[in-house]
Structure 1
Amino acid sequence: MNTANIFTFCFFILLSCHALSSSAATVEEETSDFVRPIDRKLLGLPKKEKLSHFKFYWHDIVGGRSPTSVPVVPPPLKLNSTTAFGLVNMIDNPLTLGPTMSSKLVGKAQGFYASASQSEIGLLMAMNFAFIEGKYNGSTLTILGRNPVFNKVREMPVIGGSGFFRFARGYAEARTNWFDLKSGDAVVEYNVYVFHY
């Protein structure tokens, strides 16, 4: 190999390295356009999160003239199941301070629950707690989780929220306060523990 060939070979290697580093820089620039860190103050977020405990009662009214929970997908008839596997109910359930409907209304639970277990009555819960009281009026907390309804205490995650609950996270504990086997109506006590700003 003569000197001119060696020089040409080295030139092409250097050119290739430059092209690779340029394309890497281009990828980095494209990535930085996609995501960037921001100062939390721009979103009005203080440095510290608060931990709050909310307690209220969830009223699931299936029967009567004004149900707040209605089936939108019935369980398939071909399944001989005691768990109503496949059932989906849409809800707009009252949230009150006490276990009776005459208690002060603080919000609504809006969303759905679905029977998601073939071996027990286990529901998939997807709902927003939409508050109408005090400074939390207009803010929501979002629950998405599993609810094995015959367990004494059921725990479901809080996966987010809106308004005062942007970036919220935590969990909710549900305990059945009252259940009517004949109508299917129920009152459930919810204790919600949530980190929020």
Structure 2
Amino acid sequence: MAAARCPWLVLTTTLLVLLACSGAGAAEKLTHISFYFHEVPSSAPNPTIVTVAGLNVTGSTFGDLQVFDNPLREGADPSSTLIGRARGLVVAASLDNSGMVSITEFVFSNYGHYSGSTLASLGHLTIPVVTERSIVGGTGVLRFARGYYTTQVISSTSDLGVALFNVYFTTKL
């Protein structure tokens, strides 16, 4: 009976319960980290990326599927400190060869506070321009991470490709 006379009380209580359950209002912190992605192409010894399926259509890479397990380093130099691995898939999913879809898990093994944690990403990849992809989750101290990162190719030879990754994300505190 009291609720019928105070509809705003029911509405306010319902909204407070929904906010509490959804985690809305939880503090979030924007973080920026950067590291270097080192990739050895399949044409070089000990490749870190290989094509596992392809349609072999002349003049097109459409349908090609590649897997990778690339080192992540603090610097562009191949001898710089190893901080983790980038593991995932790249699919040539555009008919005009304008780009690919990449699914990547960044696994941090020696990166200070982030050691033992991961970031998951998904997005459109074009080479050699600067690209932006989504951070869609994480584990460990990066659980519930969301954000984006940019990738810029620093150097590319027949033996090694190096890209700078600038990662921006928030996590719930």
TM above 0.5, yes or no, is yes
Tell me how far 1:170 sits from its aligned partner: 0.3
- Aligned position for 1:52: 31
Judge conservation of contact 2:138–2:144 (CA < 8 Å) in 1: yes
- Any stretches of 5+ residues in structure 1 without a counterpart? 1-36, 41-45
Instruction: State whether structure 2 residue 165 is matched by structure 1 residue 193.
Output: no
- Aligned position for 1:95: 72
Instruction: State whether structure 2 residue 88 is matched by structure 1 residue 111.
Output: yes
- Aligned position for 1:21: none
Q: Which amino acid aligns with 2:165?
A: Y
Tell me how far 1:121 sits from its aligned partner: 4.1
Judge conservation of contact 1:56–1:189 (CA < 8 Å) in 2: yes
- Aligned position for 1:70: 50
- Aligned position for 2:153: 176
Provide Cα deviations, 1:77-123, integer angstroms capped at 9, x if missing partner. 2x2224x2211111110011111210111110011112122223412
Specify which structure has the higher proportion of helix.
Answer: 1
Q: Which amino acid aligns with 1:89?
A: Q
- Aligned position for 2:40: 61
Tell me how far 1:126 sits from its aligned partner: 0.1
Tell me how far 1:142 sits from its aligned partner: 0.6
- Name the CA distance, whole Å, in 1 between partners of 2:127 and 2:44: 22
Tell me how far 1:65 sits from its aligned partner: 2.5
Judge conservation of contact 1:69–1:89 (CA < 8 Å) in 2: yes
Indicate the RMSD between aligned Cα atoms, in angstroms: 2.2
For residues 166 and 110 of structure 1, do their structure 2 counterparts lie closer, same or farther at Cα, with a shift above 3 Å needed?
A: same
Provide Cα deviations, 1:130-178, integer angstroms capped at 9, x if missing partner. 0012121110001100011132x10101111111111111001010111
- What is the aligned counterpart of 2:134 among 157, 166, 171? 157
Higher RCO structure, 1 or 2 (CA under 8 Å, sep 6+): 2
- Aligned position for 2:119: 141
Judge conservation of contact 2:31–2:170 (CA < 8 Å) in 1: yes
Judge conservation of contact 1:120–1:148 (CA < 8 Å) in 2: no
For residues 39 and 145 of structure 1, do their structure 2 counterparts lie closer, same or farther at Cα, with a shift above 3 Å needed?
A: closer
Judge conservation of contact 1:123–1:149 (CA < 8 Å) in 2: no
Tell me how far 1:64 sits from its aligned partner: 2.6
Could you list the structure 1 runs, at least 4 aligned residues long, displaced by more than 3 angstroms after superposition: 37-40
SS of 1:150's partner is: coil
Judge conservation of contact 2:44–2:159 (CA < 8 Å) in 1: no
- Any stretches of 5+ residues in structure 2 without a counterpart? 1-19
Specify which structure has the higher proportion of strand.
Answer: 2
The count of aligned residue pairs is 152
% identical aligned pairs: 35
